[in-house]
């Protein structure tokens, strides 16, 4: 059976659309499930196999659709309409050591992907759209904490988990001011997910429930005062916390300038706007049982010290009476569930890059980027509401709300990316690259489940021409292990004093580039 040529063309077009929709669905599912490990802070070095293979250089290299999230002006100089589908696999290795643990994190494998399309204009206007995995971080451990023990005094391992994942859908427009110069803008929507689970520490001063109205003496005073002054002597309080299902949607943007006076040289500048992420619709569990058991034990020990004739049972009964007089009913426990929100940011950045032909076969490129982590990752503000546990509310002095400013205090980073591409034959191009970005995480706030501390990266890659229109690209990227030792007085908690956190990462990229206008 034969079809009319127009019918055949329509059937082919329908088949291509079906394949595109299937690929798009797979990419989106991968993005929603990914927990991405960062390359500088939470930013990936490269978004696809081509740029990753040459160390992530992209700002001044105008050759693929990932320019939409690197330098939008550069799409004006693409030679053909192009569809890119990219899939990557990340294999991070995380490490943590303190006085109770010498642990490797769970060996997770995380898939991620990008899909993008660009249509360069025949004259001045070009456009494109895509979905990109932007970055993130996370870790999974089971570790000991000094407060969590069983009745025999053996440590009960606790879950330490985090996920911070970011993806974005973008649209880009670029306009050629002249044959050599173009400007471009990218606008899009950022979607982010966040999870956080571990024994979290808080200062006793958060317990604002008043014990003695006449003096203003609070539960915070009771927990922090020395035993000699009738207190319990705590410098921090601990709750097993589990924040889940936090998500945020925000708008973001990027502007760029691209200059290409000849096929042998190009230069670009781009600026990325900061994004304030407002996470909503989360839920949280907080369990202060271990903390209260420890406090109860201290009260019992104090009673027995003051009353040597008391038995253990008599001291426990006296302790329960004391807590009851403070408005604490120990039979109601110290666990609760909450609705949760949080705020965090994505940094503004400024990048410049060049690309030039050293020979007919060899092209070199370099990018430099300033990333403003100091403003974006200064404090993560966590808010809990809707708590109903009477004991927790009594100690906090609230009606079920908790506001916890979580210190991060990150530092700005400068990232240098260098790359080389060599045309080995008409069908094969090979690449290599190196990137350096100073670690933005300070020693005072580094801790196990936010291990974004890598500094040095090396990569290799290649592209092979399968046909006139289709290229297969591959890359391997390695982030060398970097260890950071926390300060003596960690701002995160006693458990992290003098601890060591480390991260290395292996990333495998594969992508297909389809040049739709090539004949």
Would you list the domain boundaries of the chain?
A: 34-288+334-515
Q: Which of 398, 406, 404 is nearest to 218 (CA)?
A: 398
pTM for the full model?
0.88
The model's pLDDT over 443-459, given as tens digits with 9 standing for 90+, comes to: 999 999 988 899 999 99
* Whether residue 346 has pLDDT greater than 90: yes
Contact status, residue 352 vs residue 268, Cβ threshold 8 Å: yes
Measured CA distances, 426 to 199, 346, 429 (Å): 57, 41, 8
Q: Look at residue 33 in the predicted model and tell me its pLDDT.
A: 38
Q: Indicate the CATH number of 34-288+334-515 among 3.40.50.300, 2.10.10.90, 3.40.309.10, 2.40.160.60.
A: 2.40.160.60
What's the mean pLDDT when you consider all of the chain?
Answer: 90
First CA to last CA across the chain, in angstroms? 29
- Has residue 15 got a pLDDT over 50? no
- What is each CA distance from 312 to 113, 228, 297, 299, in whole angstroms? 61, 22, 11, 12
pLDDT tens, residue by residue, 22-59: 444 443 434 433 444 445 667 788 889 999 999 999 99
Query: d(Cα 518, Cα 58) in Å, to the nearest integer?
Result: 23
By the 8 A CB rule, do 353 and 416 touch?
A: no
Query: Residue 519's pLDDT is what?
Result: 56
CA-to-CA distance for 128 and 110, rounded, in angstroms? Answer: 27
CA 201 to chain centre: 21
pLDDT band at 151 (very low <50, low <70, confident <90, very high): confident
Dump pLDDT digits (tens) for 403-444. Answer: 999 999 999 999 999 999 999 999 999 999 999 999 999 999
Phi, psi torsion values for 77, nearest 5 degrees = -105, 5
Q: Where are the beta strands (DSSP E) in 373-499?
A: 379-385, 402-407, 413-423, 428-437, 456-465, 470-485
* Residue closest to 273 by CA, chosen among 346, 342, 169, 165: 346
Answer yes or no: is pLDDT of 352 > 70. yes
What the block records as the tokens of 26 is 């797979």
Query: Residue 472 burial by CB count (10 A; 0-12/13-18/19+): exposed, middle or buried?
Result: middle
pLDDT for the residue numbered 31: 41
Task: Spell 9-19 as b/e; 16+ CB within 10 A means b.
Answer: eeeeeeeeeee
Can you read off the two tokens belonging to residue 299? 């009260």
In a 10 Å sphere around its CB, with 0-12 CB exposed, 13-18 middle and 19+ buried, how is residue 185 labelled? middle
User: What pLDDT score does 20 carry?
Assistant: 43
Cα radius of gyration rounded to whole Å, the chain? 28
3-state secondary structure of 141: strand
Say if CB 105 and CB 95 are below 8 A apart: yes
């Amino acid at each position: 059976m034969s079809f009319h040529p127009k019918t055949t063309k329509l059937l082919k077009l329908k088949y291509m659309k079906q394949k595109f929709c299937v690929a798009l669905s797979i990419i989106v599912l991968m993005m929603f499930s990914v927990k991405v490990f960062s390359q500088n802070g939470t930013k990936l070095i490269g978004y696809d196999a081509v740029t990753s293979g040459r160390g992530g250089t992209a700002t001044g290299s105008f050759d693929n659709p990932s320019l939409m999230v690197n330098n939008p002006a550069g799409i004006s100089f693409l030679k053909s309409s192009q569809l890119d589908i990219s899939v990557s696999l990340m294999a991070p290795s995380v490490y943590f050591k303190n006085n109770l643990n010498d642990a490797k994190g769970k060996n997770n494998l995380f898939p991620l992907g990008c899909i993008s399309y660009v249509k360069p204009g025949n004259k001045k206007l070009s456009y494109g759209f895509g979905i990109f995995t932007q970055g993130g971080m996370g870790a999974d451990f089971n570790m000991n904490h000094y407060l969590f023990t069983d009745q025999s005094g053996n440590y009960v391992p606790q879950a330490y988990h985090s996920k911070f994942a970011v993806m974005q859908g973008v649209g880009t427009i670029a306009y050629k001011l002249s044959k050599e110069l173009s400007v471009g803008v990218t606008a899009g929507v950022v979607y982010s997910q966040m999870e956080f689970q571990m024994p979290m520490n808080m200062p006793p001063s958060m317990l604002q429930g008043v014990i003695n109205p006449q003096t203003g003496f609070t539960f915070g005073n009771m927990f922090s005062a020395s035993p000699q002054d009738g207190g319990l002597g705590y410098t921090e309080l601990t709750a097993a916390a589990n924040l889940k299902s936090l998500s945020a949607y925000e708008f973001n943007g990027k502007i760029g300038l691209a200059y290409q006076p000849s096929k042998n040289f190009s230069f670009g500048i781009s600026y990325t706007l900061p994004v304030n992420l407002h996470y909503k619709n989360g839920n949280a569990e907080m369990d202060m049982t271990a903390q209260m058991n420890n406090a109860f034990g201290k009260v019992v020990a104090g009673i027995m010290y003051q009353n040597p004739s008391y038995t253990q049972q008599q001291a426990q009964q006296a302790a329960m009476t004391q807590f009851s007089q403070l408005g604490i009913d120990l039979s109601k426990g110290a666990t609760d569930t909450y609705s949760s929100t949080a705020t965090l940011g994505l940094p503004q950045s400024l990048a410049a890059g060049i690309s030039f032909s050293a020979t007919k076969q060899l092209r070199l490129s370099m990018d430099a980027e300033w990333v403003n982590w100091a403003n974006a990752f200064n404090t993560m503000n966590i808010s809990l509401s809707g708590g109903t546990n009477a004991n927790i509310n009594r100690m906090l002095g609230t009606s079920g709300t908790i506001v916890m400013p979580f210190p991060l205090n990150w530092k700005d980073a400068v990232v240098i990316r260098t790359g080389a591409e060599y045309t080995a034959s008409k069908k094969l191009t090979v690449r290599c690259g190196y990137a350096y970005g100073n670690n933005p995480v300070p020693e005072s706030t580094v801790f196990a489940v936010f291990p974004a501390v890598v500094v040095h990266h090396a990569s290799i890659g290649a592209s092979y021409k399968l046909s006139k229109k289709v290229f297969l690209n591959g890359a391997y990227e390695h982030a060398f292990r970097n260890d950071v030792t926390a300060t003596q007085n960690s701002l995160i908690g006693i458990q992290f004093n003098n601890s060591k956190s480390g991260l290395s990462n292996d990333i495998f990229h594969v992508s297909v580039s389809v040049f739709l206008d090539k004949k």
